[in-house]
A = this chain, B = another copy of it.
């Protein structure tokens, strides 16, 4: 009764700890931040008081004072795509041991939503910002540039980065796809990506298809089978729908899909219709997600190491935040062709 609304007592503060340990709050702060600064004996007393009270420091208050929040904003189109989930995991793995907490924002591939999310992130004063892609609204670009903290654009290779970049060229991925499928003997080559519905666009996927188109053009092949069809990227159903549409239009000897997720959907659609892969149609995906390695036939793909993008971004940021000099402005992690069972020379 006396305690009132029972579970809602307030957590102990540093002041409480300091009183119990018989020292000043500053000494508690030092004990926790840099134990080497206090004497062995004092440290023991403080830590005992911390344990007894179950004290957990308030990093919000600490951040206000020190101007370092320990947040790293990570803005991705979706977490449902394992590529981005892996990048998030890689970044977390690299930065959490050093006390940084990722703050994840999801845009759903929408440019306007990205702006909203960036604003929400900025209100938390992150120590660094990681954002997918290089295509932003002017307002978003401005927000990022003025944020006053390191900004890393990932999963792309911007010509004019806001600040830093870690990724690869999506356009060159598309060109490699063209060369690869041509090299495998195909001449009727298709490219499948999602529809653009207003503000919702997969810019990087479009860039890969642009590379494919140019690659085909340079080889003197027609690019009339490049389709933007079906719902937004990141859903298996997209690939199935797009492949169905392609077959309706006469099919192709080889198909490049903007993501392995779609490629898997396409593969299954072929199976449902009795279209043999790779005999009747070859399928090449992008991203190298685990499903592609497990499914039958295994998916040929242009692989990027999503986890490594997270790692490298994390290490770059740690260097930047430690004030190291001579850190690269852009890291190109490249990509590599992995031919498995959904393609075969003919």
Contacts and interface: CB of A to CB of B under 8 A. Distances in A.
Contact of A294 (B148, B240, B290, B296): B240
A9 B148 CA distance: 6
Nearest to A142: B54
A56 B123 contact: yes
A248 B265 CA distance: 31
Given A236-B294, A268-B296, A294-B236, A102 B101 contact: no
A54 B146 contact: yes
A123 B272 CA distance: 52
Nearest to A149: B8
Contacts of A123: 56-59
A106 interface: yes
Nearest to A12: B146
Which of the listed residues A85, A96, A149 has the most CB atoms from chain B within 10 Å of its own CB?
A85
Given A7-B163, A145-B7, A79 B69 contact: no
Contacts of A293: 236
A10 B146 CA distance: 9
Given A79-B79, A102-B104, A290 B60 contact: no
Interface string A291-317: 101111000000000000000000000
A237 interface: yes
Given A7-B163, A264-B291, A268-B296, 12 more contacts: A7-B146, A60-B69, A60-B125, A79-B88, A80-B89, A92-B106, A96-B120, A104-B104, A237-B290, A268-B295, A272-B296, A291-B291
14 contacts: A7-B145, A8-B149, A11-B147, A11-B148, A60-B60, A78-B89, A80-B85, A101-B124, A102-B104, A235-B290, A236-B290, A264-B291, A291-B291, A295-B295
